[in-house]
Amino acid sequence: MNILILGGNGGIGRAIVDECLNRYPEATIHATFRLAQPEEVHNVVWYQVDVTQELEMEALSQRIPKVDWIVNCIGLLHNEQHGPEKNVSAISSDFFQQNIMTNTLPTLLLAKHFTPKLKLSASPKLATISAKVGSISDNRLGGWYSYRASKAALNMALKTLSIEWQRSVKNGVVLALHPGTTDTHLSKPFQARVPEGKLFTSQRVANDLLDIIENSSPENSGKFFAYNGEELSW
Ligand SMILES: NC(=O)c1ccc[n+]([C@@H]2O[C@H](COP(=O)([O-])OP(=O)(O)OC[C@H]3O[C@@H](n4cnc5c(N)ncnc54)[C@H](OP(=O)(O)O)[C@@H]3O)[C@@H](O)[C@H]2O)c1
């Protein structure tokens, strides 16, 4: 089996790399990082990729001859200049576009450049980590415009891809996954108000999300699942 993990140096992504090594010792794990290459690990091939650049994604697809599962763990919530917006006056066009470029576009680029390779697999799966705050029907608190909008757009992209795959990719599964609040760089500034017992380790989340991916079948394609297996509404 060949598994490609995007953002293999991130909090959840790294834990997914490690859990794949643990569960599938025969598999080849292809994993991406952006800046600093993680240490060499047997059975892991590292690639440096900025996932917002289509040429780099295309080049990545040319370097990986076969792939069965793709797990996209890339994400952006805040950067040095901007945090999630408290109200609409905080909108910055640059930050909004960066959210779309990081949280939405890469999944479509993956689908474009890897679908021909996934078609060669007997059980092809493409899972992207989304976020429950991207659910329109679940939005009760408001705020976080750019992140919410980019994850809602990601969800629509995944749903739309699942419909295309029904016709074109035999046994294909497309999944949107919510990890729950996980103790990583991304959630660090927002952990103070997380209720007790609701801040998960990346190891736990990797385990939960891989259970969902492993047990998914084409009937689950185009759905949005939380870490505990609950199906979330769009
Ligand atoms: N943590 C949570 O509580 C939580 C909750 C809901 C959803 N999520 C989602 O879970 C996913 C993983 O998040 P995380 O918590 O593991 O965050 P993280 O530790 O900050 O990891 C984010 C990853 O995205 C990579 N990345 C960002 N922009 C990139 C780019 N242009 N090109 C290549 N790589 C890029 C980062 O690489 P660099 O480090 O090299 O920049 C890093 O590997 C995200 O989609 C996030 O939205 C997380």
Mean pLDDT of 173-189: 98
Q: Is 11 in the pocket of ligand 1 (CB under 6 A)?
A: yes
| Cβ pair 71, 5 in contact under 8 A | yes
Q: Is 9 in the pocket of ligand 1 (CB under 6 A)?
A: yes
Shortest-distance Cα residue to atom 6 of ligand 1: 131
Q: Distance between CA atoms of 181 and 140, rounded to whole angstroms?
A: 17
What dihedral angle (degrees, nearest 10) is formed by the CA atoms of 73, 190, 201, 138? -70
Q: Distance between CA atoms of 74 and 90, rounded to whole angstroms?
A: 24
- Structure tokens, 59: 């080049």
Which has the closest alpha carbon to 7: 232, 233, 218, 209?
A: 209
| Cβ pair 31, 206 in contact under 8 A | no
Q: Distance between CA atoms of 63 and 56, rounded to whole angstroms?
A: 11
Give the pLDDT band (50/70/90) at residue 180. Answer: very high
Shortest-distance Cα residue to atom 10 of ligand 1: 129
Q: How far, in Å, is the centroid of ligand 1 from the Cα of 7?
A: 7
Query: For position 228, what pLDDT does the model report?
Result: 98
Q: How far, in Å, is the centroid of ligand 1 from the Cα of 126?
A: 17
Q: Is 12 in the pocket of ligand 1 (CB under 6 A)?
A: yes
Of 18, 182, 204, best ligand 1 pocket probe by most atoms within 8 Å of the beta carbon: 182
User: How far is C-alpha 225 from the geometric centre of its chain's CA atoms?
Assistant: 12
Q: Is 50 in the pocket of ligand 1 (CB under 6 A)?
A: yes
Single pTM value for the model: 0.98
Q: How far, in Å, is the centroid of ligand 1 from the Cα of 130?
A: 10
Q: Distance between CA atoms of 227 and 179, rounded to whole angstroms?
A: 5
Shortest-distance Cα residue to atom 12 of ligand 1: 73
pLDDT digits (tens, 9 = 90+) for 44-77: 999 999 999 999 999 999 999 999 999 999 999 9
Mean pLDDT of 41-45: 94
Give the pLDDT band (50/70/90) at residue 79. Answer: very high
Q: How far, in Å, is the centroid of ligand 1 from the Cα of 167?
A: 31
